[in-house]
Amino acid sequence: MTLFIDMDEVLADTYGAHIRFYNDVYNESLSKKDCLGGEVWQSVPKERQSSIHEHCYEKGFFRNLKPIENSIEVVRELDKYYNIYIASAAMQFPNSLEEKHYWLEEYFPFIPWQQRILCGNKHILKGDILIDDRKYNLESFEGRSLLFTSPHNVNTNGFERVNTWGDVASLLL
Active site residue 34: no
Q: Is 8 a catalytic residue?
A: yes
Of residues 6, 13, 132, 133, which has the active-site annotation? 6
Between CA 75 and CA 15, with CA 21 as vertex, the angle to 5 degrees is: 35
The residues annotated with a catalytic role in the active site are: 6, 8
